[in-house]
Structure 1
């Protein structure tokens, strides 16, 4: 049986540190607390480096209706295709 290597990393909201990643799986916890979508955009871009990579956002609702998370939820409820969905095909 092959050994499983733990290659996990914890990122801070500083988007600069997320450049150059190639994750198979990323989980963005509490996106509503992020000041912008820079880190999310970098993670989405990094998904193109691996076949069948997966990204998951788990969060409480953002307090501001203009926050990127609130806009993503509104778009999903309207059935609008987002950039993340378009890139996942």
Structure 2
């Protein structure tokens, strides 16, 4: 949940939800950005585009969740070539 009111123009802060899940996903992405070329390239691209580092990390987490959900749906293993899309 984001905390917004009216025409709020400041930085948005995430609150609520499952803190343990957020922590696990964040730490998994920190490791993935070091070892996985797909997420490393995505992170670098976002930072180069001017995004703050924490915003870029969370964007990579979202990409990871989408990829993992599609892998489960289709019953396939990791393939770096299809993950680049």
Alignment TM-score, normalising by the size of structure 2: 0.24
TM-score (norm 1): 0.24
The structure that is strand-richer by fraction is 1
Relative contact order higher in (CA < 8 Å, ≥ 6 apart): 1
